[in-house]
Amino acid sequence: MRVYVPATLGLLADYRDLGSVPAGTERLVAAEETEDAEYDALVVAAEASAALLPGRGRRVVVVAEVADPDAAFGLDRVRAVHADTEDVDPAQDDLPELGWFATQEIADLLR
């Protein structure tokens, strides 16, 4: 099952340092396995990510394939990261689409 984890760059760095995303972390699951439902889950996760920002910053959504949506999972389960390419104001009404980053780009995203 695919999960969408709202995060920030700081949280993404924490997950990298831990080597996992802990249990109890907010996650969204698509209502069904269709492209539209998965996109909707991504959008809701991006909105939740904006709520995590204390001010200007970058929204991040970690996308992973997991067996149990509530359990901790290793970063080897991460399939992609969606993130802003520049800082945004989370209070802004019309936030841009998130960019897509492959797992091997996480280190560059955190620089």
DSSP 47-103: HHHHHH-SSSB-EEEEEEE-S-TTS-EEGGGEEEEEE-SS-B-TT-SSPPPPEEE-G
User: pLDDT (tens digit, 9 = 90+) per residue, 21-74?
Assistant: 999 999 999 989 899 999 999 999 999 999 999 999 999 999 999 999 999 999
What does the pLDDT look like over 82-101, one tens digit per residue?
A: 999 999 999 998 999 999 99
Report domain extents, the chain: 2-109
pTM of the entire structure? 0.96
